[in-house]
Amino acid sequence: MSNWKTTLSSDSILIPRRLEERDQDRLQSIYRLLQKTHIEGDLDLRNIPITDLGNLTSVGGNLSLRNTKITTLGNLTSVGGTLDLRGLKITDLSNLQSVGKSLWLTDNLITNLGNLQSVGGNLWLRNTPISRLPKEERDRILSRVKVEGVLYFE
């Protein structure tokens, strides 16, 4: 076996930047990303303190906005994968027209599905104002949306 030795000098020691600086850099990187209109893959923005989606109109993969400070989906029209909006304070889906897989609206203030036309998987409406509506009114709201999977209300 060979015998090896590592010597550290003051020039080779990594000094971590302050956490606040790293968080600010990450947030600035996300804001630059949101200047695009389309993102091909997945976009995970969980627990990021952003308040809007910038110019974003479509995401090819999954989009998670769980526990962000977003109150509107802005210009977003389509998500190719799953859209996770759990725990948001949005009341409607704005311009959103289609979600390729499941749409999670659990624990949300959603009262209106806006322009939504199709959900390729399950639609989760647990603990939302829509889930508490009388059946006739809830059915009227949902009649405009083609849901390939299961509707979850309770």
Looking up tokens 């759990």, which residue turns up?
86
CB-CB neighbours of 44 under 10 Å: 13
Q: How far, in Å, CA of 40 to CA of 32, rounded?
A: 15
Domain ranges of the chain: 39-152
Strand 63-64 and strand 83-84: the pairing is: parallel
Identify which of 87, 85, 142 has the alpha carbon closest to the alpha carbon of residue 153.
142
Residue 107 is encoded by which pair of tokens? Answer: 């624990």
Q: From first to last of its 154 residues, what are the pLDDT tens digits of the chain?
A: 544 444 444 555 555 557 778 888 888 999 999 999 999 999 999 999 899 999 999 999 999 999 999 999 999 999 999 999 999 999 999 999 999 999 999 999 999 999 999 999 999 999 999 999 999 999 999 999 999 999 998 7
3-class DSSP assignment, residue 32: helix
